Amino acid sequence: MPLRYAVVCSSNQNRSMEAHNLMNKRGLIVRSFGSGQQVKLPGTSLEKPNIYTFDTTYDFMYKDLYNKDANLYTQNGVLHMLDRNRRIKEKPERFQDCRERFDVIFTVEERIFDQVMEENREKRTNEIVHVINIDVIDNPEDATVAAFMLCELGQKLNATEDLDNSINEILIEFEQKNKQTILHAVSFY
């Protein structure tokens, strides 16, 4: 049975959606989420981000930013990102609001890894979930590179017959190959 994946970043915009897009195209079962309280997108300055709630559609965000300053948000890539996102799903989702069960949860920042591990889910089934973090700088180029790495790792994990007994070896090999430090923990549903 194929594994079920979640990819979690802060706002469910760049890193998680880039990975969601590629993993989905490669046939993996995947959903993406944010772990923040709200969705933040670049604004006219670092001190003035565009802030939305998680129930705001990608289409609304796209049209809103297009109307605010189409040139700025085209040049900085935000409109392109939102256009991709709205073709994948309707709106960003908060990880904390999801009750779906996953076999593997990928996070892209240690702070987000900690949030996922601290999430107080009702322990109903005692099923194992592997939480894996690979730090990814939040920009389009690093998000693309990370999407390929997460997809490759997901494919390797899918190919094993015994995930729980094989995962450590797969992660060590992955770290060595990609020169990337990985955090890995086991949690339960």
Residue extents of the structural domains in the chain: 4-36+94-188, 39-88
Measured distance CA(93)–CA(32) in Å, rounded? 7
pTM score? 0.94
Model confidence over 15-73: pLDDT tens digits?
999 999 999 999 999 999 999 999 999 999 989 999 999 999 999 999 999 999 999 99
Confidence grade of residue 13 (pLDDT, cut at 50, 70, 90) = very high
Inter-residue contact 175 to 156 (CB < 8 Å) = no
167, pLDDT greater than 90: yes
Does domain 4-36+94-188 match CATH 3.20.20.70? no
Q: Report angle CA 130, 37, 48 to the nearest 5 degrees.
A: 125
Measured distance CA(133)–CA(119) in Å, rounded? 15
Nearest residue to 12 via CA among 46, 45, 56: 56
Polymer length in residues for the chain = 189
pLDDT of residue 16: 98
pLDDT of residue 35: 96
Confidence grade of residue 140 (pLDDT, cut at 50, 70, 90) = very high
Inter-residue contact 106 to 134 (CB < 8 Å) = yes
